[in-house]
Structure 1
């Protein structure tokens, strides 16, 4: 570096570690003066991604890059809501940047600050950035996204086991009295009702993660009089069929008739509701293991 000239190599080193970004403080530390920085911005050589965080000309300003810039501009901030979802690899219909930060900071254009502390149990590191945990991210997205997008995310999150109904219930209880909590309760009640397709996907995920195999979805089951129906999840060897999304006490007559035929044909039927799948998945898996141990023929 020539005497009196900015140290561009040092600034490039900062940018290389920060996905092409550097801060005003870093530029000043490399010998750039505020007037020189202003000239760089006016000429278009540098672009302000957020206040006091810059990039060289030509670097595309994407939502992910703005997320990085927000953390550089607000030390201690944790990417939250849709921003955290992006870094977890989830598809959310939002290009906005959200960070959680308890301390009062200057407002930044294009950055939404959620004024809350994120405990260590609710934070993790993804690709070098501090983001909220999957469970906290689901909860924040449900609060921040429009109803349709929030409901879709909640459904997917429960299917993919990113969170559980007990965790959501605890977070709602802790948020009682805050703005938006009644709306969140309503959304979760709707999602908690579930549907057969969602229940089948979630049940399949639970079985796979528990290492339980030998089952088939939508398996046709017949007796000597013909087709009885399609089992939601069927273990042919154990002659065990799982019915999902059903409350046995309210089962209509055709359903009871089908279960009677299944029992007469030697099948064991177990039924699980959406609530069972989302509030007690470990108990459900343990029960299924007991059924399979009892029903699966012993091979000698």
Structure 2
């Protein structure tokens, strides 16, 4: 009885700030402005398929890059002494203590035609290069902002992998490729699965990064939703429909990732 009473505030919080907003999104997505039921707004989402595909593709690329960078870095940090680990983790998290917009503005200053990189390259007679308002700039912004969300879950799992396990694999004849493929990666699957979700979900729905670093030519699904609610085309019903489709897509990706991770861990345990 006491447990139920203690859980009551959390249940109330979930109802007010999670279930009610979700119900409102669904209601707006399947009704007209005068309250009539319709699926026309959901059917219109297909017209924005190229934007959705671009969003998923760029989020996928950013997630892969984050994984490639975070995995070896997490392993290196996890093998250090406790003091060194705390220092390195603090350095990784340091950009997260700064304002998100400020970090993105900094990259605009670095990548623009008269930015730091182009001014440096001009000393060697190179450029100016078109780096801002490109898909590459958008991916760079995603990787920079979301890399810690990939690194921290993998690091938390890596710290639990004893050096004796790696040494035992090497004693049995495994080289570093074998240790990586048969020990480190399988045992790190829970952290990798969590990191992939934590990077892919905000990347596929971002709108600040794409707007500031991608320009108008690299519209993502988050920008499209933002325009429906705050732009001149004000159409909250269509915005809710797009949000609903994006939500279903994200839940599907999370489900696939969780099943993949679960199956891999069962194979390792066996």
TM over 0.5: no
**Higher Cα radius of gyration:** 1
TM-score, with structure 2 as normaliser: 0.21
User: Larger strand proportion, structure 1 or 2?
Assistant: 1
TM-score, with structure 1 as normaliser: 0.20
Q: Relative contact order (C-alpha < 8 Å, sep 6+): which is higher?
A: 2
